[in-house]
Amino acid sequence: MNILVIKDDEEININLTNEEAKELYDNDLMPFRKSAVKHALNPIDFCINFNLLIKMAELLGYSESNMRYSLKESKRMIVLYHHDDLDGQCSAAQVRESVADITANPIRCIAVQYNGTTWKKEEIEDTDEVYVLDFTFTDMEALAEITGQKLIWIDHHKTAMEENKELWDSNIRGKRDITKAASQLTWEYLKSGHPLPTAVEYISKRDVWQFGDKKEEISAFTGACQILLHSPEDADWKDLLASCENEKVELYLRVGHALTDVRKVRIEKAFERGTDINFHGLRARLINTTTDASDIGEYVYQKPEYDIAVMWQMMNDVVQVSLRSDSTDCAEIAQKYGGGGHRGAAAFTIKSGGEFSLRLF
């Protein structure tokens, strides 16, 4: 266990097991030099004797009356978040930042997606808290039964609510609300009453496609995020989530604005390389792309000759299909293929089994 002793503005980290502390004490290796204590032994997973801590602190020149303690617990946490989705990454990054100061153990972030990915019972049973963010498993009820009070579930997908009505409104910890993005819900759950950082505001508004009068700034910022951020573990998240406005956000805005013209050209070329199809009786444009699905989708459905945009890409042995429309319920169509999402944006996957590649060649 990591023990932080604080006096005035000075911090001293003490990382000792009971046995290590006793050995040092018995061998008259105290008092420690303060500089040595700051680099003391590696963090451990259990608590040392509290009375011994006080004796150690007193030998360092601190008294019980003028010091306070911040103890890191040995919680084991798993964060399951929606893969390849900025909203999911931002949600997971928030959990990492909020619990980093209260657990001595590494926080495991596992990306999941709607292609049959599921949780592992042995991993779940071996943890103290399980976060499921921006996602709902097809066997969510079984997961809730196994995890019990360990589960924190945050989601906002319309199809998840419809398929898990009782569970959605249950007393499972977390927040579930189809009117807000998962990143905003995560912030409200973890930091209730604190102002929403600009990064979370922009990412959440883009995810639910509600830009207001900030579309240019939001598009620029999230465009930079999609290039510069790859996982919840990325170091930039710490600064991006620190406050409403900071230098890191400004840097991302500058990068995003510089990339705007490039993205426009990329979207136009993707559209030109697509083909017109009839999709569930709708006028659709079928486009192969690995990026910019929402932007390409908006580019398509804003044209009067289309009802819906259908984007696809090959991921390993799975064809991932994304739907975007401002007039058709994309989630309803995606559900027919085992997928889901929102009315204006949804996705599903089709397992190829090698057949897709054989048809190409």
Q: Predicted confidence band at 31 (pLDDT cuts at 50, 70, 90)?
A: very low
Backbone angles phi, psi at 66, to 5 degrees: -120, 25
Same domain (yes/no): 152, 47: no
Same domain (yes/no): 64, 108: no
Task: Inform me whether the pLDDT recorded for 122 exceeds 90.
Answer: no
Same domain (yes/no): 345, 313: yes
Q: What is the CATH number of the domain that holds 307?
A: 3.10.310.30
Q: What is the CATH number of the domain that holds 137?
A: 3.90.1640
User: What is the pLDDT at residue 93?
Assistant: 96
User: What is the pLDDT at residue 16?
Assistant: 53
Provide the residue range defining the domain that includes 311.
274-360
Q: What's the total number of domains in the chain?
A: 3
Task: Inform me whether the pLDDT recorded for 299 exceeds 80.
Answer: yes
User: What is the pLDDT at residue 119?
Assistant: 83
Task: Inform me whether the pLDDT recorded for 125 exceeds 50.
Answer: yes
In tens, the pLDDT along 38-71 reads: 333 333 333 334 455 555 555 555 454 444 444 4
Residue type, 317: D
Q: Which residues pair with 343 in a beta bridge?
A: none
Domain boundary, last residue among 197, 226, 259? 259
pTM of the model: 0.71
User: What is the pLDDT at residue 168?
Assistant: 96
Q: 34 and 66 in contact (C-beta within 8 Å)?
A: no
In tens, the pLDDT along 188-242 reads: 999 988 999 999 999 999 999 898 999 999 999 999 998 999 999 999 999 999 8
In tens, the pLDDT along 328-350 reads: 999 999 999 888 888 999 998 88
User: What is the pLDDT at residue 8?
Assistant: 47
In tens, the pLDDT along 149-175 reads: 999 999 999 989 999 999 999 999 999
Helical residues (DSSP H) of the chain, grouped into ranges: 18-26, 34-38, 50-59, 86-99, 121-125, 140-147, 158-163, 165-168, 182-190, 198-207, 215-228, 236-240, 247-272, 293-301, 330-335, 355-360
Same domain (yes/no): 206, 340: no
Task: Inform me whether the pLDDT recorded for 7 exceeds 60.
Answer: no
